[in-house]
Amino acid sequence: MRNAAPKDEQGNFICPSCGNTIDGDGLPEHNPPIVETWNTTGYNTSQEQRIDLFNETAVAIHCKRCQSIQGRALSRTTNYRKDTGPNYTPRKPRGR
Ligand SMILES: [Zn+2]
């Protein structure tokens, strides 16, 4: 994560939107949004590079409730390009 997400004294992440402690069920917020990273870069990278991009663009952890309120504009299914570029490699099969 590029910026240290806020934590309480016990080391639990704190949601920057509502200030509540997140009990291991938070969702990362990305800047730029993941859909933008995918459409400009991720569609044409290896799985390893995409994981790096995901981690590098994460700026905060939000609780699920706040994400569901705020996240509608960042729908996970709309606006993602469907094609992949020549450098794209699929996710490796699990367990190998
Ligand atoms: Zn919250």
Report the separation in Å between the CA atom of 45 and the middle of ligand 1, taken as the mean of its atom positions. 32
Report the separation in Å between the CA atom of 10 and the middle of ligand 1, taken as the mean of its atom positions. 18
d(CA 42, CA 23): 30
Report the separation in Å between the CA atom of 37 and the middle of ligand 1, taken as the mean of its atom positions. 24
CA distances (Å), origin 45, targets 14, 50, 58, 84, 85:
32, 6, 18, 9, 8
Report the separation in Å between the CA atom of 14 and the middle of ligand 1, taken as the mean of its atom positions. 8
Task: Assess whether pLDDT exceeds 60 at residue 76.
Answer: no
pLDDT in tens, 6-42: 788 888 889 988 999 987 778 888 888 888 999 999 9
41 half-sphere exposure, CB direction, 13 A CA radius? 14
d(CA 73, CA 87): 29
pLDDT in tens, 42-64: 999 999 999 999 999 988 888 88
Task: Assess whether pLDDT exceeds 60 at residue 5.
Answer: yes
Report the separation in Å between the CA atom of 59 and the middle of ligand 1, taken as the mean of its atom positions. 14
pLDDT at position 3 is: 52
Report the separation in Å between the CA atom of 74 and the middle of ligand 1, taken as the mean of its atom positions. 16
Higher pLDDT, 4 or 58: 58
Task: Assess whether pLDDT exceeds 70 at residue 73.
Answer: no
